Amino acid sequence: MRFIYQIGVNLYSLIVYIVSFWNPKAKLVVKGRLKSIEKLKMFSSNEHTYWFHCASLGEFEQARPLIESLKLEHKNCQIVITFFSPSGYEVRKNYEFADLILYLPRDSKTNANLVLDAIQPSKIFFIKYEFWANYLLEANKRNIPTYLVSGVFRKKQIFFKWYGGFMRHVLSSFTAIYLQNENSKVLLDSINVKSLVTGDTRFDRVMQNAEKVKSFPEIEQFIDTKKCIVVGSSWEEDEAVIFSTLNKTKGIKVIVAPHEVHEARINAIESSLTQRVIKFSDLERSDNKENFDVLIIDNIGVLMHLYQYADVAYVGGAFGKGLHNILEPASFGVSVVFGNTYSKFPEAFQFLEAGIGYSINNKSEFELIFNDLIKRDETDKVLRFMVSQKGATAKIIRTIFN
């Protein structure tokens, strides 16, 4: 079975290489992996080197509270971070708490031994659902402790199929598995894999961030004394559902922060809105900020801070692209509306169960929910839930190091 697994890995790597001739993201992966070998040769580890592997930016945010806690408690430790995706590496390649950041080379026994020889980690952390078989098995041979952090499992995964014996073996090589929810534990119990439910470390992260929020006087002037909805990380599919309602709103401010902010995308959003619109890049120069109804955010890096101004939040991606971060608005006590495709996002189920998240299927449902939520204040309920979910980072560190 390991042979079949390796064929699959090699075939995927070949496809990425071919696609890299015309796809910018694939090109970044190919070039990045080549540079990784050079970086590894230059790296000098110490006896307390902790290696974190994150697929992308979302997994990095789950690793981040753990990384920063380790750096705080073990000041002389070294942190190595590897990424699979450019969306993680390119954004966080200069992260100040890491001593080495690189793309993880293709999963093979040769590469696994090369990486392990160079890093010589004292502990290895894989985030959420990263299961690189060769790396894990070779680390296990060397008796290096390996941990899965904020793990999530679904019944459709290969571990729970009759033909998943090899991947079950890989899974059992972890020293410990820390899970986000009880459903995942039930699944692992069914295949006799031990685990511990500690929660999602992202709750710790977003609640910390909310305490360090940045204010924007120009946005406060734009909102004036009105209520406000923040539309975060929206795609065309989201806007097709919600804009008809937002175009009809009177006396309510709208902030739209799309997932993509290139000029064509911003222009398309502006043309879809019938109210008085201003772009964030023009807001500071405007003398009549309060006269506009809609603010379009045409840069990146400010969305998390915008949620402090929301009375209601809509978070995009759940009409096909993949639900974006619903924890950020909730960290400010804001209820969240999102689309209907969220099966891979356990936090969405948690929000729905707690009554702080609302899923919609169409325009009419959004109009009903929005018109109801904008009249209510659910701040206390949302914050009580968010506070109740904190503590995963401390539980994991206590379990590993005590």
Q: Phi, psi at residue 286, to the nearest 5°?
A: -80, 140
Tokens, residue 174: 């972890």
Alpha helices by DSSP H, 250-326: 263-272, 280-283, 303-306
Mean pLDDT of the chain: 93
126: nearest Cα among 108, 142, 111, 140:
140
Q: What is the mean pLDDT of the segment spanning 233-246?
A: 96
Q: How far apart are CA 232 and CA 372, in angstroms?
A: 19
- 121, pLDDT greater than 90: yes
pLDDT at residue 350 in the model:
95
310: nearest Cα among 328, 291, 284, 286:
328
Q: How far apart are CA 365 and CA 370, in angstroms?
A: 8
- 91, pLDDT greater than 90: no
Amino acid letter for position 321: K
- 1, pLDDT greater than 80: no
- 399, pLDDT greater than 80: yes
pLDDT at residue 4 in the model:
85
pLDDT at residue 54 in the model:
95
Q: What is the mean pLDDT of the segment spanning 56-75?
A: 90
Q: Is the pTM of this model over 0.95?
A: no
pLDDT at residue 319 in the model:
95
Q: Which band of pLDDT confidence, cut at 50, 70 and 90, is reported for residue 162? A: very high
pLDDT at residue 76 in the model:
87
Residues in a beta bridge with 279: 296
pLDDT at residue 199 in the model:
94
pLDDT at residue 74 in the model:
81
In the chain, the percentage of residues whose pLDDT exceeds 90 is 79
Q: Does domain 2-197 fall into CATH 3.40.50.11720? A: yes
Q: What is the mean pLDDT of the segment spanning 187-215?
A: 94
- 402, pLDDT greater than 80: no
CATH fourth-level superfamily of 216-388? Glycogen Phosphorylase B; (3.40.50.2000)
pLDDT at residue 287 in the model:
86
pLDDT at residue 369 in the model:
96
pLDDT at residue 19 in the model:
85
Please write the tens of the pLDDT for every residue from 44-54.
Answer: 888 899 999 99
Please write the tens of the pLDDT for every residue from 320-366.
Answer: 889 999 999 999 999 999 999 998 899 999 999 999 999 999 999 99
Handedness of CA 265, 267, 270, 276 (dihedral sign): positive
pLDDT at residue 217 in the model:
94
- 72, pLDDT greater than 90: no
- 370, pLDDT greater than 80: yes
Query: Can you list the positions of beta strands (E) in 38-194?
Result: 49-54, 78-83, 100-103, 123-127, 146-151, 176-179
Determine which helix (DSSP H) or strand (DSSP E) holds 168, and give its type and residue range: helix 165-171
Q: What is the mean pLDDT of the segment spanning 142-153?
A: 96
CB atoms closer than 10 angstroms to residue 172: 16
In the chain, the percentage of residues whose pLDDT exceeds 70 is 100
Tokens, residue 5: 């697994």
Q: Are the folds of 2-197 and 216-388 the same?
A: yes
pLDDT at residue 301 in the model:
84
Q: What is the mean pLDDT of the segment spanning 92-108?
A: 94
CA distances from 186 to 147, 182, 193, 342 (A): 19, 6, 10, 20
Please write the tens of the pLDDT for every residue from 251-273.
Answer: 999 999 999 989 999 999 999 99
Contact (Cβ atoms closer than 8 angstroms) between residue 51 and residue 121: yes
Q: How far apart are CA 390 and CA 192, in angstroms?
A: 28
Comparing 209-213, 225-229, 255-259, 398-402, the range with the smallest average pLDDT is 398-402
pLDDT at residue 186 in the model:
96
Q: What is the mean pLDDT of the segment spanning 49-72?
A: 93
Contacts of residues 192-198 at CB distance under 8 Å and 24 or more positions apart, as own/partner, are 193/159, 193/168, 195/151, 196/399, 198/392, 198/395, 198/396, 198/399
Enumerate the domain spans of the chain: 2-197, 216-388
CA contacts within 13 A on the Cβ side of 98 = 21
